[in-house]
Structure formats: structure tokens, C-alpha cells
Amino acid sequence: MPKHHGLSAKTLRRLERASGDLASASIAVMERRLPWFARLPADQRASVLLITQAGAAGFVGWLRDSKEALKLTTEAFRDAPAELSRWISLRQAVGMVRLAIEVFEEQLPEFAANEAERAALIEGILRYGREIAFAAANSYAAAAEARGAWDARLEALVVDGIVRGDAEESVLSRATALGWDPTAAATVLVGNPPSEDPPTVVFEVRSRAARVGRPVLLSVQGSRLVVVVGGPTDGGVKEREILTRMSVAFAEGPVVAGPTVPTLAEAHHSATEALSGLRAVVGWPGAPRPVRSADLLPERALSGDAEAERLLVDTIARPLEEAGPTLQRTVEAYLESGGVLETCAKTLFVHPNTVRYRLRKAADLTGCQPTDPRDALVLRIALTVGRLARARGLW
């Protein structure tokens, strides 16, 4: 009588007929020893039973022809990505496999005709259990890769929606599905991606985000990388360092940060300003990295950004005019004098200390210090934009 794995054909037939009972016994043990398994709905437990029965049948087939082991064990878990991985973790699946093997080890010896067959059955279930465990791991890995690819596409849709200003509800619902807190503050960073390989880009950004302890959403859009950073970035020293540390994830070149907005629903405003700043930052070779879009208002206005023009008028030109002609005339005279205090004082027929006092007052109103070269440029462009806006009847 032919034997397989040291087993007679009679023993194999008995095992084949008992495979269903062995599977049912395994499920019964799982219900007793795994509290979470007992709480599964009936349809989910039935699915596990079917997979366990397929595994038991596969064991008998494997005993008949071990060359088919890989094929049979893969078949046993072929439905795992579609069913198991949705509501059972890999750790839990491995626990079920371990219990099933224990049940088989306990009950298989009674099917053996002699000691040699008993040893063969024990060795066989251990080897087959190893194959099943690897098959389960492969199935879960494939499911995880599929979910990761889907999450990446969903994340790209969210970032694209933020950039384009899509309907808030669709963006928020997708972001929530990715685990984002829609009530958290958000800041958009834009710059060059560190690599042409998408997985490398994702790794660089997420590793940096993990180090600073902040959630991020990211997408590579052509030659630019867009990153949405969650949480405040303009409070204390540690918060202000967040963007600097995140900018390391970008390639060489400028990195521009939009304003920090209260919620993700308003992130479009941060993205719009960041992208406007990225187009204009070439006009300021010495810009810091990252640079806030609000610090690029002169370059943005010169490049035709109407929003930057409005901000220059509202935050600088208008406050100076409303403070009275004396203050505005002093700032203009100081700028025209090339920043020479004495020359400015002689032009206005006042004492240099009077000029100093007025310049300090102007700095308090606008946030720009006329004695600083960069702030002096901002003031000059703002006053020019204000005059042009008034001439066009826009102010």
C-alpha cells in the first residue's frame, strides 16, 4: 500500500473525512480562549470557519504531495485580504493559527496506525503550520500594500483639493478618513521634492514629521512638494522651529510656508499664499529657509499678486496715512535720504531725535523698522503700491 510522508492511504482517507471536524474543533477552542473572537459577528466567525476548513483540507493535500505546499497554503488564505484583514489584525490571525495547530497536534495522533505515523503527523502539522503562518503574513502584507497605495491616492486627493480650494466637506471627509483632526491648525509648506522616487519622498517627509511629533499630509505635484503640517507653528520657540525642522525634508532651494490657519477647512488660504511666495521668492536671493509668504509681500506684489498688494496697503500704507501726513512724510523722506538720519532731519527741518521718534512710531504701526534694509524695501514697495492703488481708485 503506497504511503505519503510515511502515512498509509487509509490514514489519509480518514484524515480527509475528519478535516471538517478538526476545523470545527479549532473554532470551538478559539471561541473559548480568544475573548475578541467570541465577540465577532456570526458571519465573520463563519468566514473564519471556511478558511480554517480550507486549511485543514490543504493539510491533507499537502501530506499527499508536499510539492504542492505553497500552492495549497496560498489557497487556504486566498480570501484573507478581502475578509480577514478588515476586522482581524495579523497578530490575532497568527494567534488563531497557533491555536488551530495545537488542536491538530492533540487530535492527529488518534488517526495514526502506529508510532511511525504518529511522529509523521506531528512533524507534518508543525511544518504545515509554518507554511500557513507565512501564507497569512504574505496575505496581510499584500493587503497592507493595497491599503497603503489607496491611502496615498486619497492623501494626494486631499492635498490637491486644498491647493485648488475644493468644497470643504469633501476635503475634510477624506482627511478624516486618513486620521487627520479637522479642527487642528494647519500650515502649508511648498518647495522642491528631495527625490524623483515617490516612496523616498514619503519616507523623508514622514520621518521628519515623526521626529517633530506632528501629523502631515503630502503630495508631489510635478516639480513641487506640498506638505500640510498639523498644529500651531507660530507660538513659542519650539513651535516656531517646527517648520525649520520640516524644511530639511525638502531638496535644495527655497521653501515657502503659508500662514498658519485655525483649521484644515481654511488650509486653501495657506496654500494659495505659499504657492504665490514660491513663484516670487526668486526675487529675494537671501531669503531664509523656510520663508513665510507674508515676508515675501514685496516680491509677490511685483510679480502681480493682487492679494499681496492688498495686504501691503492694509498693513502698511493705510495705517501710515491714517496716522497723519507728518508720519508718512517722515518715512518717505528717510527712505529717499538713503537711510541717513541727519539728511532726513535737514529735509524736514526737524531735530534728528524727532525723526527717531517718528520712525519708532512708524515701526510700531507697521511692524517694519525703517532702519532695517529689508524692512525699508518693504516700506518703499508698500507706499508705492498704495499710491498706485489710490490712483486706480482701489483705495
pLDDT single digits (tens) 337-383:
999 999 999 999 999 999 999 999 999 999 999 999 999 999 999 99
Residue 70 has pLDDT above 60, yes or no: no
Residues 6 or more apart whose Cβ sits within 8 Å of residue 237: none
**Res 11: pLDDT:** 86
Residue 1 has pLDDT above 50, yes or no: no
Residue 149 has pLDDT above 80, yes or no: no
Residue 85 has pLDDT above 70, yes or no: no
Contact 67, 4 (CB under 8 A): no
Strands (E), 277-326: 291-292
Residues 266 and 365 in one domain: no
Residue 339 per-residue DSSP state: S
Residue 73 has pLDDT above 80, yes or no: no
- For residue 163, tell me if it sits in a domain: no
Residues 188 and 261 in one domain: yes
Residues 327 and 255 in one domain: no
CA 197/CA 236 separation, integer angstroms: 35
Domain limits for position 252: 171-293
- Domain at 190, CATH number: 3.30.70.2730
Contact 175, 233 (CB under 8 A): no
Cell numbers 513663484: residue: 279
Cell numbers 458571519: residue: 43
Identify which of 223, 264, 228, 221 has the alpha carbon closest to the alpha carbon of residue 246: 228
Residue 305 has pLDDT above 50, yes or no: yes
Residue 160 has pLDDT above 50, yes or no: yes
78-84 mean pLDDT? 51
Residue 65: CB atoms within 10 A of its CB come to: 12
- For residue 119, tell me if it sits in a domain: yes
- For residue 155, tell me if it sits in a domain: no
- For residue 299, tell me if it sits in a domain: no
Residue 269: CB atoms within 10 A of its CB come to: 17
Residues 97 and 38 in one domain: yes
**Res 2: pLDDT:** 45
pLDDT class of 248 with cuts at 50, 70, 90? very high
Contact 51, 75 (CB under 8 A): no
**Res 94: pLDDT:** 78
Contact 370, 331 (CB under 8 A): yes
Identify which of 335, 305, 318 has the alpha carbon closest to the alpha carbon of residue 296: 305
Identify which of 322, 254, 275, 295 has the alpha carbon closest to the alpha carbon of residue 381: 295
Residues 177 and 141 in one domain: no
Q: What's the Cα-to-Cα distance from 141 to each of 58, 89, 90, rounded to whole Å? A: 22, 11, 9
Identify which of 338, 343, 347 has the alpha carbon closest to the alpha carbon of residue 380: 338
Cross-strand partners of 7 = 4
Taking the C-alpha atoms of 329, 333, 335 and 339 in order, what is their torsion angle to the nearest 10 degrees? -130
Is the model more confident about 222 or about 336? Answer: 336
Identify which of 282, 281, 280, 261 has the alpha carbon closest to the alpha carbon of residue 271: 261
pLDDT class of 45 with cuts at 50, 70, 90? confident
CA 99/CA 36 separation, integer angstroms: 14
- Domain at 63, CATH number: 1.10.490
**Res 128: pLDDT:** 81
**pLDDT > 90 in the chain, percent:** 48
Identify which of 108, 110, 100 has the alpha carbon closest to the alpha carbon of residue 130: 100
Residue 150 has pLDDT above 60, yes or no: no
Q: What is the identity of the amino acid at 211?
A: R
**Res 182: pLDDT:** 80
- Domain at 346, CATH number: 1.10.10.2840
**Res 236: pLDDT:** 80
**pLDDT > 70 in the chain, percent:** 88
Cross-strand partners of 229 = 187, 216
Q: What angle do CA 195, 198, 202 make, to 5 degrees?
A: 90
Q: What is the chain's length?
A: 395
Residues 272 and 311 in one domain: no
- For residue 288, tell me if it sits in a domain: yes
- For residue 298, tell me if it sits in a domain: no
Task: Quote the radius of gyration of the chain (alpha carbons, Å).
Answer: 35
What does the mean pLDDT of the chain come to?
A: 86
Domains in the chain: how many in total?
3
Helices (H) and strands (E) in the chain, counts: 18, 7
